[in-house]
Amino acid sequence: MNIRKSAEVAAALASGTPVVALESTITSKMGLPAPYNRECFDRVNAAIRAAGAVPAVTAVIDGELWAGIEPHHEALVLAADEKLAERDLPVAMAAKRTGVTTVSATVTIAGLAGIGVFATGGIGGVHRGAELSFDVSSDLGAMSRHPVIVVSAGAKAFLDLPKTLEVLETLSVPVIGYQTSHFPAFWSRSSGLALGHRVESAAEIAAIAKANAELGWRGGMLVANPIPADAEIPAAEIADAIATGLAEAERAGATGPKATPKILAAIAAATDSRSIPANLALAESNARLAGEIAVALLRG
């Protein structure tokens, strides 16, 4: 299908220049409050460029899927108030709606556009109590269907992280720890959950991706990149805030995606808003690593 691309991204793909996809939810007002969403936008784009790659922010604009937006689209995306997952894309296209993309939608658009690397903050996963609610993020399934390397700081700690890893295993999505042997918990460097695979360099990740392709695997892989040590919030501190947020969400009857904003607000309040600088630092770190991986893929 026809994926719209900015002039810069189209030229980069045509010339073989490395490109990294970016979701637009984390840089919208639904991801971070202004002006931090603009700061996040600038920092992740700059980090990718510093690594030698071209950033491609994804979005849906007037029903068209974009992989790389033009400068005049930036304000529209930063202020967007509709969040679109993979399942929402055909509806948004048919109704000519505008919205920002989640992980699952971005993986889909990147795969269709031929962009093999994507940087985000943290992936969605299995929600606590999913054995009763069946609340599992579409991010996991999307990674199993599209050949895109997803670089994230693990999954948010308020999710059921052991079950998230189990579902990724069921879907045959390789999970690779970047300079870590444990799955990160977004704001914290380690969840305590051991990973089966660890690498020390972007070149090793690129080699694994190429081996995946040789095996005929049509899905992607997850690279778990811990938050920088100086930005980490201790897991015990986050746990108390999560408990408060989960209780508030339950009282409000909010579940799934609707619960997330309440939990994030509780964490921001409990940590004196240190979660916002942490979010910025991990997003920038993931963007930088994704840029390095995209460069390594072309060099190899």
What CA–CA distance (Å, rounded) separates 199 from 249? 38
> Is position 62 within any domain?
yes
261 belongs to a structural domain = no
User: Which percentage of the chain shows pLDDT scores above 70?
Assistant: 99
Joined together, the tokens standing for residue 1 give: 């299908």
Mean pLDDT calculated for residue range 103-123: 98
Token pair, residue 4, equals: 């719209």
For residue 228, what pLDDT band results from cuts at 50, 70 and 90? very high
- Paired with 126 in beta bridges are 136
Contacts 24+ apart (CB under 8 A), 76-81: 77/24, 77/27, 77/28, 78/27, 78/28, 78/29, 78/34, 78/37, 78/38, 78/41, 79/28, 79/29, 80/24, 80/28, 80/29, 80/30, 81/29, 81/30
Which residues on adjacent β-strands are paired with residue 66?
4, 59
In the prediction, which pLDDT does 227 show? Answer: 98
Query: Percent of the chain beyond pLDDT 90?
Result: 79
Active site residues: 23, 156
CATH number of the domain that residue 283 is part of: 3.40.1790.10
The pLDDT of 96-119, averaged and rounded, is 98
Q: What is the dihedral of CA 157, 272, 83, 246, to 10 degrees?
A: 50
Q: Is residue 136 part of a domain?
A: yes
Mean pLDDT of the chain, nearest integer: 94
Is 244 within a domain? no
Which residues does residue 269 pair with via DSSP β-bridges, in sequence order?
Answer: none
In a domain, 266, yes or no: no
Q: Tell me if 42 is assigned to some domain.
A: yes
Q: Which of 239, 218, 226 is nearest to 172 (CA)?
A: 218
**Count of structural domains within the chain:** 1
Lowest-confidence region among 29-33, 84-88, 253-257, 259-263 = 253-257
pLDDT for 257: 66
Looking at the domain assignment, is residue 214 inside a domain? Answer: yes
pLDDT of residue 269: 83
- Position 248 in a domain: no
pLDDT score of 256 more than 70 = no
Expressed as residue numbers, the domain containing 105 is: 4-233+274-299
